[in-house]
Structures are given as C-alpha cells and as structure tokens.
Chains A and B, each alone.
Chain A
C-alpha cells in the first residue's frame, strides 16, 4: 500500500484467495482438507481462526459426488442397489436395506420370514462394523492409536462373515427387491453365533481403554454440545440425535421389516461426564448401540426359521406412485424418496442422507471451539463423505 501507483500489480492478483493467509487482525484462514488425516473422507473445511479459537467453519462438500440420483433414473430398480452400496460404504447392508424396503413398500410385497431375519442379522452386523470403525478412527483422531487396531481386529471377523455370504468385504450388493441374494448356510449362522459370543466382552475392553480414559474424557466432554432443540431443528437423526438426549430410533418409532419383534433399548446421552449432547455422549451412544445390536443378533439367531427363500419377482415394475421410506442406518435416518412411473426404471430416486444433515450443524458446533476440538467434533458426528455427496 505504500508503493507508488505505477508499481501496483493488477487488481486480479491483489484479490485474496480464501485459502491463502488473509490477515485481518489476528485472523487466520486455514484450509483443512480435502486431503487430511482427520476429515473422514474428502472433506474440505475452511476455518477462520483467531489464534487457536475458531470463528467460523465452512465445510466445502462435493469432492465425492458421483451423480447417484441421476444414474438411478437410467437404471432398473435392481441395478440401483449396488449404487446404494457406495453411498455409505461402511454400512452397505443398511443402505441396501433402506432402498429395497422403499421399493417393496411401493410394490406392496414382502420377502419370506427367513429372508427378513437374514436381513436383520446382516443389518445389525453391519451396524456393529460401522460403529467399530467410528470408534477406532475417533480414538485415532484424539491420539490413541491402539483402539483402532483392536476395533479392526473385531471387524475382520464380521467382514469374513460378509465375504462368505455375499462374496465381498465392503460393498455387498446383498439385498434384492423381495429378498436377499443368497441363503445363509448353517455354518455361516454358527460363525455369527461365535462372533457374538466373542465380541460382547470386547466392548468392556474398549470402555476401559478409551471411553473412561481421563484424557479422552477431557478432550471430548462438554465439547461440541448439541442441544436437543438444535438437533431437532436441524433434522439431525441417529446417534447424534440420541446423544443429545432425544430417544428416537426408527426401528422403534416407525418400525420396518421385523424390528417390532425384538426387544432392545434405545440408549441416549445423559451427560455422564459433561453436558448432555457433547462429543462424549455421541461417542458413548454408539458404544452402547453395539451392545444393543448384539442383543438383537442373539434374538434373531434364536428365532430364525428354517426354510426356503421366496421367489423374487422377475421384473420389478412398481405401480405408478411415490413413496418416502426411511430406515435407521448406523448414522441416522436414511430415507429414499422413490417416484415410479410404472416402468422398470424409477422416475426419480432421492436419497436423504443422515450425514448431510449432521454436517449442516457443524458450523454452529465448531464456533468458539479450538482447532483440536474441531477434530473431536468431526469425529463425533461420524460422517462418511460418500453418503454426504452421493
């Protein structure tokens, strides 16, 4: 500003780009991502900080957008299912489940009893696997490296079961309109029983190692407090909502499939170590949910009937109409709004992503927090970019 006019560079060069240092007083603009060890996926967050304290946190999404909804308009209903896998790739079974339930409701059909039980078993196993990843990576973000490896050790057993059932370790494409791809053999069911017995005591191990660790509590308690009113106003669902004390779970509140036959609790955050709705609550709700999933698995394994799988409809042609159908994925309310025009291809498929709404409340949570707390908050809302961007 003190140089003579003739030496001023042209205006285009003078304009500050948001990722460069824009000095307004002590303000610093920091770009976290899109490649960053702690944002769970390709997420870019532009932080405006005053020293260590965050004044504004703007997430930039879209790095993983793959035009899922546009693709769905040109595919048959059966062909859409693998695309749903890839939305939230950590909870593939649940994504499949949600979509096939939506189409089945539109068509007015139901799979056989055995298939319903198989679906529930797969969905709950995947819930455990997804929560294990969330638990492990959260510890990693906070600095505890070891729980991550223990979580993945358990998850390997689940992935082995999935590999035996569907052939794949991560993206299963297992459920079909009107049923599932393949029956489970008695050996596979035994493996699930073995896993359930092996896994339950491990949850206590995780609690000892991480959940009740003094340093972990200091890092996460009373950080990123999301009040119940805020959560409902923003449309947050799933463990994030339950962490704020609201006891709402679609498996109980708006039951689908055969969930009304099982007895399980809905854990909510109670502010045991800080404020209700802080990061620790959201994290602990997930740990408790793993226990509940184990309960459901036990009941499903005991009740599963023998029998053949029903014949699935050969061509899927739902009658003209539209439906919004929702299920409880490990990250919240996963909804599909399907409009059918009577042909084999849907007219429109809209996916309601729970992580997207969770991300929308991120700016409010991050204001006034320190940069280390931003990491803790992102980990506690457990996002998967594949689902946010679709």
Chain B
C-alpha cells in the first residue's frame, strides 16, 4: 500500500502532463484536421445519444399513453416506473427468429429497414444543439435535411414490395403517396424561414433568432407556417391522425407486417428518430433553437424538442385517423394553398416593412 499510492500519484501526474501537452498540440493542427476531429468526436457523441433516444421515447410514449388512458404503463422492469422496459423489449427482439417470408425478395427485404434507419440518422448531421455541438454546419443544411428524409420513402416501398404480401403492398403504397405529398407543405412552410434568415444553414437560422426573436412570431403568417409544418411532419412520420399505413385495424401492420425481431425494431427506431428530427427542425427554425431566458445551450434545445414530441404523442392518443383520400385532400387542398399563402404573405410583409423603413437591408423580426 505504501508503494502503490505514490506510484499512482506519479502515473496520474505523468498522464496529466502528457495528455494536456497532447491537447495543446491540437492547437497546432492544421484547421481542416481540427475540424475533422471535432466532427468525429461530436459525431460519436451524437451516435451514442441517438441510440439512447428511441429507447427513452418509447418508454415515454408508453407512460404518456397509459396516463391518458387511465392506466399506469410500465412499472416493473428496472424498478422506477419501468425505465428499463425498452431495454428488456429490445433484448427480446434480438433473440427472435430471423424470419424472411417465403417468396419474399431476399435482398430488398433485408435492405429496406437499413435504408429507413439510414435516412433518419443522416438527418442528424445538421441539427444544431448548440453553436459548437453540431456535426457539420452545411451551408445548405435545411435542404439537406428534407432531401435526406426522402430516402426513407424508398425504404418503405422496398419493405412493402419485397414482403410478398398484399397488405404490406397496400400499406407501402399508401405510405409512399402520403410522404411524398406532404413533403411539399413542409418545404413551402420552411420557405418563409429561409427568407427571414437569409440562409439555409441551420446554425445561421438559429443565430438569427437571438434575443427572443423567434421566427414563429416573426410576422403574422409565421404561426400558420409553424402549424402547417407541424401537421405536415406528423404526416411524414406516419403518426396518428395520419397513420393509415400502419392502421392496425385495417391492414394489420401495413408495410412492416412481415418484419419481426431486429428488422422490425429498425423501423420502429427510425420512426422515433424521425420524430426527434422533425421536432428538432421545428425547434431550430421556429422556436429559437438553443436560446433560452438564461444559460442558452443544448438543454433548451432538448427541452423545446421534448415539448413538441410530447405534443405529437398526445395527439396520437386522442385523435382518430383520417382515411387515405381525406389525408391526400388535406394535403393538396388545404395545406399546400395555405403554405403558399404563408410564403407569399411573409415575403410581402418583409418587402412592405422594408420599404416603410426606407430600404435598410438586413433581416428583422416583426417590425423591429
């Protein structure tokens, strides 16, 4: 014992000196390599965060739905309100038989869930949790997110087709039609935001909302744009009231009827990750990102995302679902014209106020 303690002291001192020295060396790395290092570190952190996120949200959904339905939800597994329930379920799913239906297209069947997950994970790259906690601040960030999200549709279509099952096919077709249609209101409702911020980069958009100048209230058309974005992203996520593709009572489970075990959990994980991405985009562009009344940072970002996600879950357990033609009518007959009006209106507002202020350039919030 008398020999170990000083030896330990010595080891810690040696480590401190050399690691600190190594960190100091980082200053001397060329700029690009440093940026790459940051990207890798933050990316790794993000990946860990992403793996735990769906676990937490599934647990939250079960508890929230239980409370709305006058029951308790998971209570046993892990002691405190069943917080380990999702872990237990995941382990169970891992142990299930890897079933590929006879007559199914093997390669497509196995590839589909991976595509779905990939699409949702790829969107995390541009989410600005805080000014430095962002994997890569692409200067076409917003466009990138919407573009990458569309890859998920390919995954769903592959799943439905390759399952060799009428119900899956029907579900996949409905789902593809729904997602592709609702991308238009999403894009159109993001247009006013881009106009206001003057950039597609997510970090710039958040920074333009400093000092409580949230874009959701930047002009009378923006709350409507926010609402349209929220509704359209519910449809993108296949959540009730737009969950016709997974309508249990009609098509058993839609496009993922034939999936079980880990493959199914990929789709599930993709849904919850996508939910987080939608909430994060809404927070970034409409709700002021990482800003808060005090101690601006990732905590506020997460809090706002959390609030939106709770709202999504609340709606799921309260509302019935729309029929597929009503769903499409809602998109094309109501949301698209409304979002066009928003985009027009926001632009006109900007022009008018700009003219009234004598043509001073720069973005502004409401009329200041």
Contact = CB atoms under 8 A, between A and B. Distances in A.
Interface stretch (B31-39, B197-205, B239-247, B275-283): B239-247
Contact of B249 (A143, A146, A209): A143
A218 interface: yes
A28 B166 contact: yes
A297 B16 CA distance: 82
Interface SS of chain B: loop
Given A21-B166, A149-B71, A370-B324, A213 B249 contact: no
A143 B70 contact: no
Interface in A278-304: none
Given A37-B249, A141-B249, A372 B323 contact: yes
B99 interface: no
Interface stretch (B303-311, B314-322, B331-339): B314-322
Contacts of B70: 149-150, 153
Given A143-B241, A146-B68, A150-B70, A375 B249 contact: yes
Interface string A5-42: 00000000000000001000000101000001110000
A140 B248 CA distance: 9
A146 B64 CA distance: 12
Nearest to B69: A149
Contacts of A216: 320
Nearest to B319: A215
Interface string A133-146: 00000011111111
B325 interface: yes
A351 to B, nearest CB: 29
A145 B252 contact: no
A213 B69 contact: no
A246 B325 CA distance: 32
Nearest to A144: B320
Contacts of B326: 218-219
A316 interface: no
A371 interface: yes
Contact of A375 (B250, B317, B319): B250
A37 to B, nearest CB: 5
B323 A38 contact: no
A373 interface: yes
A210 B320 CA distance: 8
Contacts of A142: 249, 320-321
B317 A146 contact: yes
Nearest to B325: A370
Contacts, number: 73
In this complex, the member of A150, A215, A375 whose beta carbon has the largest number of chain B beta carbons within 10 angstroms is: A215
Contact of B69 (A145, A215, A218): A145
Contacts of B247: 143, 372
A370 B248 CA distance: 16
Contacts of B241: 143, 215
B72 to A, nearest CB: 12
| Interface residue range, chain A | 20 to 34
B317 A370 contact: no
A52 interface: yes
Contacts of B170: 371
A144 B320 CA distance: 4
Interface string A117-145: 00000000000000000000001111111
Interface residues of B, number: 26
Contact of A371 (B69, B240, B250, B252): B250
A21 B250 CA distance: 18
Contacts of A371: 170, 250
A216 B166 CA distance: 27
Interface string A195-218: 000000000000001100101101
A219 B250 contact: no
Contacts of A30: 166
Given A37-B252, A372-B244, A213 B320 contact: yes
Contacts of A37: 248-249, 252
A363 B321 CA distance: 24
Interface string B154-189: 000000000000100010000000000000000000
B93 to A, nearest CB: 21
B69 A143 contact: no
Given A140-B249, A141-B249, A146-B68, A219 B318 contact: no
Contact of A139 (B65, B166, B320): B320
Interface string B10-25: 0000000000000000
A278 B249 CA distance: 21
Contacts of A143: 240-241, 243, 247, 249, 319-321
A242 to B, nearest CB: 24
Interface string B240-270: 1101100111101000000000000000000
Contacts of B243: 143
A145 B317 contact: yes
Contacts of A146: 68-69, 317-318
A215 B234 CA distance: 15
Nearest to B240: A143
Contact of A213 (B68, B240, B244, B319): B319
Nearest to B65: A145
Contacts of A149: 69-71
Contacts of B69: 145-146, 149-150
Contact of B321 (A38, A150, A210, A215): A215
A215 B319 CA distance: 7
A373 B244 CA distance: 12
Interface string A302-334: 000000000000000000000000000000000
Interface of A: 21, 28, 30, 36-38, 52, 139-146, 149-150, 153, 209-210, 213, 215-216, 218-219, 370-373, 375
8 contacts: A52-B325, A140-B249, A144-B321, A145-B69, A370-B325, A371-B250, A372-B250, A375-B249
Q: Which 7 pairs, one residue from A and one from B, show the smallest C-beta to C-beta distance?
A: A143-B321, A144-B320, A143-B320, A38-B249, A149-B69, A142-B320, A372-B323
